[in-house]
Structure formats: structure tokens, C-alpha cells
A and B are shown apart, each in its own frame.
Chain A
Amino acid sequence: MAKILIVAEHDGTRLNASTAKCVSCARSVAGAQIDVAVFAADGAAVAAEAAKLAGVTRVLRIDRPENSHALAALLAPQVAHLAAAYTHVFGPSTTFGKDLMPRVAALLDAPQLSDIMAAESATRFRRPTYAGNAIVTAEVDPGTRIVATVRIASFEATPGGGAAPVETLASDVALPSHTRFVSIVAAKSDRPDLQSASRVVSGGRALGSADNFKIIYSLADRLGAAVGASRAAVDAGFAASDLQVGQTGKIIAPELYFAIGISGAIQHLTGIKDARTIVAINKDAEAPVFEVADIGLVGDLFTIVPELEKLLGA
């Protein structure tokens, strides 16, 4: 029987939505036991949240002062220590999981499958390669322990309503001191989180300046949407790097996605393929973004966006 350990992602106080999606992925492996591990300085609140996720068998809470920041070099030995009792170790395919899980896999001498988008069985998984242009089905022999990152855009969050027991574990695994957290600069925002928002408005190079980018924020606020950006817009300094959507930025799956002034480089389209409805606004009717858009509007974004905002307010 599959025994799956999921490494919870959190910010010290709240569970990240990516964890509920990892649980969904794990639940698609028939009959799996699913344990969620919370590594934190004080994981009480996060563990309580994880315990409510439907399908979770147990929540394991490992409190250590060294866990106050999620540093892969410090977390990996703790995860690997716990993983000895499991057949699978899952983490989200966010920068947290991408950083951590291969470090765990190497400690376990286990192969890793990155960005799994479907679990066909306990040993057979689907994952994207070549920026999503080739989907491979990968298989390992039964009995091979697997580490995986879960492509969170491919899974709905598992619902709440569960009541898994929380077990507190002591950890005396030796941790290195060679890696130290210095600081984090996070864009403070009252807007919805880009990775989990149901609506996203993204702007591209055609916005022309950081100042012009304000119309993207304005429309997003009208829609209650998160703001995203193309790589070109981030490179040009119109938007912060944590807003980048695409192959190397965030891969998202909102209900509604607006691509405004974005031509639609393949690397960007990779990041939005799973959006339910894609709206493209671009003055170039030949832009590749129109090939994936459900609704396209050709025209000048500087006229269209304010007009749209006004119509939505009416």
C-alpha cells in the first residue's frame, strides 16, 4: 500500500493553498495513507489547518527553532529522516518545493518526478516537459521510493471538513549551520494571491511603463483579481518578479485570465494553459495569444481597459 508523506508549505502562521492540492494528488493514488508533515518553529496553527483537509490520515508536527525559515538545507535532513517510513514523498511544485524536494531525493537516493500533473497509479505519473509541449508518462518499478513535486495548477484543492489527528514529533536530526536566512523583500499587497486567485489580470510589454501598468491594477481591483505579468513586462521593470506568469514564473489555473498587451510567447502560455477562460486583448490580431484565448478582442489596450473597467462597474 502506498504511504505518502506530504511536506506542508506555509509561512509560519498559515498553510499555503498548494498543500491542499498535493493532498488531492495523493488522494488519486488508490488506497494511499496520506500524512502531512509541518516543519515550523511553532506549527500549532498550521498543523490545525492541515488536519482539516479531507483525506489526510495524520498530521505530523515537527517544531524546531531552526525551522522558522524554510531553508532547504535545514529541512531536507528532517524530511529525509521522516521519509524512511514512506513509499512516496510529495511537495508542491512551487519555489518552496522545487528548492527542497530534490535535496531530499538525493538524501534518500530516490528518483524525483517533477511537476506531476496526474497520478495514474502509485508507480505511474504524467508530467510536462519542453515547457508543456510534450507530456510524458513516467513509470518506476514497484518498490522504488519516489520523491515528487506536484504541479498545483493540475489539481483542485482537497476540501475541508477532515479531522485528522495531530502528532507532535521530537527531532534530533543534526542540522548544518552553513546556510543562513538574511531577509525577504515581499511586495505587500491586499490583492488576492496570484497563485491561488480565481481571477487574474496580467499585463505585458505593450503597457510600456510601470506607470501605465496601473491600469492593470485598476481593472484587477474592479474584478477582485490578482495581478500578473509577462516575462517581458518584468524584465522591463513594469512589474515585480514575483508577478511573473509562465514556464519560469508561476503556473496558474484561475477561472478567468486576462492577458492584456501580452503577445503570448510559448513560455507565457505554458503558465496559463489550465485557466478556465482566457481573454486576450492585443492590438496585433496575429499575436499567438489569440490561438489559446477563449475570447479575443483586437484593439488598443489603453482604450479598451478603461472602457471595460467602466462597463464592469455599471
Chain B
Amino acid sequence: MKRILVCVKRVVDFNVRIRVKPDGSGVITDGIKLSLNPFDEIALEEALRIRERGEAEEVVAITIGPADCQQQLRTALAMGADRAVHVVHDGVVEPLTAARTILKVIEKEQPFLVLLGKQAIDDDNNQTGQMLASLWQRPQATFASKVEIAGTTARVTREIDAGLETLEIDLPAVVTADLRLNEPRYVKLPDIMKAKKKPLDSMSLADLGVSAVSRVKIVKTEPPAQRQKGIIVKDTQELVAALRKRGVL
């Protein structure tokens, strides 16, 4: 079966104003809205579009996280994924552990394409896709803004600092989604109902033979330094005078 694996992560919703805990032990996550990482939603949307074009037969969503991440997997199923894999784990998952875990699932599922968001908006690491491609010894196309499947290869346009770069990669491969790849669809109510009946497999890291190695210790979390309050000028002449006074003109 021509299968696409889409890796999704649950994160603090992008609309939530992040607050650091007073004791510096992390950010406040109690009682706040959690959602699918927006870049992963884009990755999932791309997988669904590829399936809808007839270039794939099945889309499988996978996540690693606590038991209640099932809710976000159900969202992925409601968007249109055919089934889901939940690797249940409560602690910290460093990107290299995530990549190792996904690789185990790849070995089982044999996808021709793995899609992920380019980064998660919580830790902003931007690592897992590249690490996965590296361990898998397959091509990677990061920061994708266009994906075209052509038989056993894909052409991917990437948003890089210098402009738009196009790569040709042999499949299977890992592609990470950037913002402008697509606009994810909205989930409709009947689809939420249908999603409840779709298959969702749960397993542990141990079931997959992976141990969660944690090598980076977060010793402190702080709010960023605040900028000094600025001034409001009333017209362009005052603006130019203020710029001259600061010595930047």
C-alpha cells in the first residue's frame, strides 16, 4: 500500500500568551489550550492532498506523548488521516529519541513519504525531521513550499534564505513543511464523529525497543529581557529629530 506517515506533536496553542513560571522551572501549561503543532497540520494537509490526487492510498498520523494526546490524534483523524499510531510517553522526548521512535514505526509501516512540520512551536528545535532522514539514510527536503510526486522521485521547492530552491529526491524521503505549503482544511463536525471510529494503535517506547535518552538538562527558564518603553512622536519631523538624537541617521 502506498502510505504516507505524518508526524504530529501536541503543543501549547499558538494563540496562548506564554508565561514563565515564577520559580523558573518552565512555562505555565496548566489549564491552557493545547493543539496540534501548526506546521504539523500543514504537513498533514499536504499528505491528504497527495492522497486525494491518487498518489497515495493511506495516510497514517503518529504522535509521541502522554495518554491525553489522543485528542490531538483524533483531530488528525478528523482532518482525514486514515489511522493513527500513538506512542504513549510521559516524560521529555528529545528530538533524537523522537527520530529513533519514528524510525521504528517506519520500519513497520514502510511509507514512501514521511511528512512533518519544520519545527514545533514550543521548543522551536527544528531538528526531528532532519535527524530522522539521517538515521533512515534517506533524502530530506526541509522547509517545503511545494511538493510534487513523480513516481519514484519527488520535486520539492524549499524556502531558503537565498530564495526558492528546488531539489529532486528519491523516495522514500522525509519532507518538512513550511508555512506556505498549503492552508490546512477546517474540521467538520461529521468528520469528528467519524474519526472516533477510525483505528488508533497505542504502544510504548519499550514496545518499539527505544529508550528515552535525555542528555540536555534545562536548568532554568526565564522570560525574555524587556525592551525599554519607547516614545510616541507626532509627525515625521519629530521622527527624524528623534532618530538624529539617537545617532542612528
A residues at B contact (CB < 8 Å): 11, 71-73, 76, 94-96, 98-107, 109, 111-115, 124, 128-141, 144, 176, 178-187, 195, 231, 234-235, 240-242, 247-248, 250, 255-256, 273, 276-279, 290, 292-299, 304, 307-308, 311-312
Interface residue range, chain B: 35 or more
Cross-chain contact A278 with B230 (CB below 8 angstroms): yes
Cross-chain contact A129 with B164 (CB below 8 angstroms): no
Nearest residue, chain B, Cβ from A16? B161
- Please tell me if B34 contacts chain A, counting CB pairs below 8 Å: no
Nearest CB on B from A302, distance (A)? 13
Task: Given A128-B124, A250-B161, check contact A106 B99 (CB 8 Å).
Answer: yes
Give the docked Cα–Cα distance between A273 and B226 (Å): 9
Cross-chain contact B180 with A95 (CB below 8 angstroms): no
Q: Which residues of B contact A176 (CB under 8 A)?
A: 137, 139
B residues at A contact (CB < 8 Å): 12, 17-18, 20, 26-27, 94-96, 99, 118-119, 121-135, 137-140, 142-143, 145, 155, 158-170, 173, 178-180, 215-224, 227-228, 230-240, 242-243, 246, 248-249
Nearest CB on B from A225, distance (A)? 11
Nearest CB on B from A241, distance (A)? 5
Task: Given A106-B134, A296-B233, A311-B236, check contact A183 B166 (CB 8 Å).
Answer: yes
Nearest CB on A from B124, distance (A)? 5
Task: Given A113-B216, A136-B220, A277-B246, check contact A294 B131 (CB 8 Å).
Answer: no
Cross-chain contact A112 with B95 (CB below 8 angstroms): yes
Give the docked Cα–Cα distance between A184 and B158 (Å): 9
A-B contacts besides A103-B140, A138-B218, A139-B216, 8 pairs, CB < 8 Å: A112-B131, A129-B27, A133-B17, A178-B173, A182-B166, A235-B180, A241-B145, A242-B162
Task: Given A76-B134, A102-B130, A124-B219, check contact A296 B159 (CB 8 Å).
Answer: no
Q: Which residues of B contact A311 (CB under 8 A)?
A: 236-237, 240
| A/B interface sample: 17 pairs, CB < 8 A | A72-B130, A73-B139, A105-B134, A114-B127, A115-B124, A129-B123, A133-B223, A134-B221, A139-B217, A176-B137, A181-B167, A184-B162, A247-B124, A255-B248, A295-B231, A308-B240, A312-B240
Q: Which residues of A contact B139 (CB under 8 A)?
A: 73, 176, 178-179
Nearest CB on A from B156, distance (A)? 9
Nearest residue, chain A, Cβ from B119? A248
4 closest A-B pairs (Cβ-Cβ)? A186-B163, A102-B130, A106-B134, A133-B18
Nearest residue, chain A, Cβ from B136? A106
Give the docked Cα–Cα distance between A249 and B36 (Å): 21
Q: Which residues of B contact A139 (CB under 8 A)?
A: 216-219
Give the docked Cα–Cα distance between A270 and B148 (Å): 32
Cross-chain contact A297 with B236 (CB below 8 angstroms): yes
Nearest CB on B from A197, distance (A)? 13
Residue among B123, B124, B180 having the largest count of chain A Cβ atoms under 10 Å: B124
Summarize B's interface: helix, strand, loop or mixed. Answer: mixed
Give the docked Cα–Cα distance between A208 and B178 (Å): 24
Nearest residue, chain A, Cβ from B178? A248
Q: Which of B99, B216, B224, B242 contacts A138 (CB 8 A)?
A: B216
Cross-chain contact A248 with B134 (CB below 8 angstroms): no
Give the docked Cα–Cα distance between A94 and B118 (Å): 13
Q: Which of B140, B173, B220 contacts A137 (CB 8 A)?
A: B220
Cross-chain contact A99 with B130 (CB below 8 angstroms): yes
Task: Given A95-B160, A312-B240, check contact A296 B179 (CB 8 Å).
Answer: no
Cross-chain contact B134 with A132 (CB below 8 angstroms): no
Give the docked Cα–Cα distance between A101 and B125 (Å): 11
Cross-chain contact B143 with A296 (CB below 8 angstroms): no
Q: Which residues of B contact A112 (CB under 8 A)?
A: 95-96, 125, 127, 131
Q: Which residues of A contact B121 (CB under 8 A)?
A: 130-131, 247
Give the docked Cα–Cα distance between A276 and B243 (Å): 12
Cross-chain contact A103 with B134 (CB below 8 angstroms): yes
Q: Which residues of B contact A131 (CB under 8 A)?
A: 18, 121, 124
Cross-chain contact B248 with A277 (CB below 8 angstroms): yes
Q: Which residues of B contact A128 (CB under 8 A)?
A: 124, 224
Cross-chain contact A111 with B18 (CB below 8 angstroms): no
Give the docked Cα–Cα distance between A138 and B220 (Å): 7
